[in-house]
Amino acid sequence: MTINDSSNNGQRYVFLDRDGVINAERGTYTTSLDEWEWAPGVFEGLRKLNEAGFKVIIITNQACIAKGLQTEEGLAKLHTYMLDGIRHNGGDIFRIYHCPHQTSDGCTCRKPEPGMILQASKDYGINLSRTFMVGDSLRDMEAGRRAGTRTILIDSGPGADSVRTQFESGEFRAANLSEAVEIVINETK
């Protein structure tokens, strides 16, 4: 193991939020294929990550399930579409963790809780201090910090202004996934 490794076995990982990073943030739930719009820079960013040897893990809140606006089956269908699109464009996603709860459920997985990241770390032996959480909201940054990851804010979408004023972590910002990936690669050399 060298100091460049981000995990016990040398495999490097990166955690990505979904809405606002992989697909465009609509300001409301994306629950069907006709609502799905790819975020800028997504295919280039994922290709670069995969070429640099990173495994990509998506960490996503989907309270639309708890609220009855989406089913597990519908989410799986959407994710099959997402994976097909990404693979067709030369990238790949290793694993997806989703939280189906809403805040009032008091679960330990809904971001800003760090539960999904901690579970992934346990499942794959990921060294969190050498791994980035990339997302477009304060919740993503907080979940990363609480889990012990490094953080990159994608500075876009309808909530960007409020996020910008609230963001206090002192870590990185990027305009889109492709820019975030440059940071991930440079910082983990």
- Whichever of 17 and 179 has its CB closer to Mg ion, that residue is 17
Pick from 12, 13, 14, 20 the residue near Mg ion by CB under 5 A. Answer: 20
- Looking at the DSSP assignment, which residues form a beta bridge with residue 56? 14
Which are the contacts of 75, defined by CB distance < 8 A and separation ≥ 6?
31, 62, 65, 98, 100
Q: Which of 19, 136, 140, 155 is catalytic?
A: 19
Backbone angles phi, psi at 124, to 5 degrees: -120, 10
Decide if residue 155 touches Mg ion (CB under 5 A): no
Decide if residue 142 touches Mg ion (CB under 5 A): no
Quote the least distance from Cβ 161 to Mg ion, whole Å: 15
Determine the interface stretch with Mg ion among 39-47, 50-58, 136-144, 165-173 (rule: CB under 5 A): 136-144
Q: Which long-range contacts (CB under 8 A, 24 or more apart) does 102-107 make?
A: 102/63, 102/66, 102/67, 103/63, 105/66
Determine the interface stretch with Mg ion among 2-10, 15-23, 99-107, 124-132 (rule: CB under 5 A): 15-23
Distance, in Å, from the CA atom of 10 to the CA atom of 30, rounded to the nearest integer, reads: 35
Quote the least distance from Cβ 44 to Mg ion, whole Å: 19
Decide if residue 100 touches Mg ion (CB under 5 A): no
14 close to 131: Cβ distance less than 8 angstroms = yes
Pick from 16, 19, 121, 171 the residue near Mg ion by CB under 5 A. Answer: 19
Pick from 12, 17, 113, 176 the residue near Mg ion by CB under 5 A. Answer: 17
- Whichever of 11 and 158 has its CB closer to Mg ion, that residue is 158
As given in the structure block, the two tokens for residue 27 are: 């300001």
Query: H or E segment at 123?
Result: helix 115-124
Catalytic residues: 17, 19
